Every structure is written in structure tokens, then in C-alpha cells.
């Protein structure tokens, strides 16, 4: 997975240092540039690809929220500010998270992990396959061939129309890599391909002649389908 390219728009040197230090601690983040005002950042965005903006609100020349409204296709945005009263406006503008200064590294990490998860899902929405580690090999598995995935403690079993594969990863890890419009978790131990469901009841779904139980906390997933 390529790194998430980010910029900082912040006019306080101490806040810039804290953010820069935090970013350097996260392997999937890559700091491109720091800007003291939003107008310079806007110029940079016209000619460079950026995945994430760390945006202060009280900036010289152009305020953070006003700057955000000028962007036709904004990347992910994490607002960093000492003022909580802008939170509602920020979320109305689809910011990923809102960090109130001063914030600890753990809170910062929670925010950037949201961006990372969204980017992974976004990239997988456009693909029709996944590579999975199977006995020291990377094996290509087509989404269209997957019937279901079953948890087996620290392993998962991927059952396809042609084969079965065992890989050392959790159901949560594989779920993050699958397109959400095709695959749904219907049980703590099972993820199924919606396209392969042949019939269902309140307790189970059937696909390819196989019955998969529906977990007690997942009944609404099937109802929404």
C-alpha cells in the first residue's frame, strides 16, 4: 500500500513541530510540505497530489473553514484547533476527524487510522481481486470467486468456487481489504459474498449449497440487503 501523502497548514511553529513529530512516527504517513497560510497551500494543491490535510482553523488571510469550502475535490482533512465550537461545521464539510489542541499521540493515531482505513477501502472498491499470503506465496484471488471467509482462530479459511485457502490473518484484517458493497460480515466468524447468497432465513444464509449461520448481533445486516 502506498504511503498517505499529507501537508500541514498551520501558523504556530510549536503546533507544526508536534504534528511533524507525530507524522514521522507513523509508517504509512509521508509529510510533503508545511504551509503557514491556506492560500499558499491552495496553490500547491493545484499542481500536487495530496491524500490528507492537517488543517488549523485560525489562519492568516484565509480561515481554515473558508479555505475548505473553496476546494472542489478535497482530500481527507483532519482539523487541528484549540476551538471546539467549529466541530459541527467541520463535520458538515466531511472532515475525517477534529483534534482539539493539545492532543496526545494516541488521539492523533486514532484520527490517521481512520484515513488509512478509508483509503484502503477506496482502493479496493476499484479492484476485482486481492493477493493473500498462502504458505509463503502471494496468491491472487478474484472477488467474484469468493463464496465466504471463515475465522479459524489466528487463521482464516477463504472458500472460493474453485478452491479453499488458509491464510494467517484475522477476519477483521481481511474485512478491511474487501469491498464493502460485495462482502458483509454476518457472524463473528463469517464474511459472505452478497452476490453468492441463494436464500436466507432469520438464522442462516445459503450459498452454493452451504449453510452459514447469522450471528445474533448481525441480523440487521441481512435485513438491510
Going from N- to C-terminal start, the domains of the chain cover: 4-125, 129-224
Mean pLDDT of 38-59: 91
Strand runs (DSSP E) across the chain, as ranges? 4-9, 29-35, 52-55, 76-81, 97-100, 129-134, 137-142, 146-152, 155-160, 164-167, 183-187, 190-193, 199-200, 204-207, 210-213
pTM for the predicted model, two decimal places: 0.56
Cis status, amide bond into 186, omega within 30 of 0: no
Whether the per-residue pLDDT at 124 is higher than 60: the answer is: no
Banded pLDDT at 181 (limits 50, 70, 90): confident
Q: Is the CB of residue 148 less than 8 Å from the CB of residue 161?
A: no
pLDDT at site 185: 93
Mean pLDDT of 75-91: 78
- Fold of the CATH domain 129-224: OB fold (Dihydrolipoamide Acetyltransferase, E2P) (2.40.50)
Mean pLDDT of 210-215: 94
Q: Quick one: what percent of the chain has pLDDT higher than 70?
A: 92
Mean pLDDT of 98-120: 90
Q: 170: how many CB neighbours lie within 10 A of its CB?
A: 13
Coil/strand/helix, residue 151: strand
Reported as a single tens digit per residue, the pLDDT across 5-23 is 999 999 999 999 999 999 9
CATH class of the domain defined by 4-125: alpha beta
Coil/strand/helix, residue 39: helix
Reported as a single tens digit per residue, the pLDDT across 55-69 is 998 888 888 888 988
Q: Give the C-alpha separation, 55 to 77, whole Å.
A: 7
Whether the per-residue pLDDT at 150 is higher than 60: the answer is: yes
Amino acid at each position: 500500500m502506498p504511503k498517505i501523502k499529507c501537508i500541514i497548514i498551520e501558523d504556530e511553529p510549536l503546533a507544526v513541530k508536534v504534528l511533524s513529530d507525530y507524522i514521522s512516527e507513523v509508517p504509512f504517513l509521508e509529510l510533503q510540505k508545511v504551509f503557514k497560510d491556506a492560500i499558499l497551500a491552495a496553490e500547491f494543491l493545484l499542481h500536487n497530489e495530496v491524500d490528507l490535510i492537517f488543517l488549523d482553523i485560525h489562519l492568516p488571510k484565509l480561515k481554515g473553514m473558508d479555505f475548505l469550502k473553496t476546494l472542489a475535490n478535497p482530500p481527507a482533512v483532519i482539523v487541528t484547533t484549540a476551538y471546539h465550537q467549529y466541530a459541527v461545521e467541520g463535520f458538515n464539510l466531511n472532515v475525517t476527524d477534529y483534534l482539539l489542541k493539545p492532543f496526545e499521540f494516541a488521539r492523533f493515531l486514532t484520527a490517521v487510522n481512520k484515513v488509512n482505513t478509508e483509503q484502503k477501502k477506496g482502493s479496493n472498491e476499484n479492484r476485482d481481486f486481492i493477493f493473500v499470503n498462502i504458505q509463503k506465496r502471494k496468491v491472487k484471488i478474484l472477488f467474484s470467486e469468493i463464496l465466504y471467509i471463515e475465522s479459524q482462530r489466528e487463521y482464516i479459511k477463504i472458500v472460493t468456487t474453485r478452491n479453499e485457502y488458509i491464510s494467517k490473518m484475522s477476519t477483521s484484517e481481511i474485512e478491511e481489504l474487501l469491498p464493502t458493497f460485495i462482502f458483509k460480515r454476518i457472524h463473528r466468524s463469517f464474511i459472505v459474498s452478497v452476490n453468492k447468497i441463494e436464500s436466507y432465513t432469520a438464522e442462516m444464509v445459503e450459498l452454493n449449497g452451504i449453510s452459514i449461520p447469522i450471528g445474533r448481533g448481525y441480523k440487521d445486516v441481512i435485513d438491510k440487503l
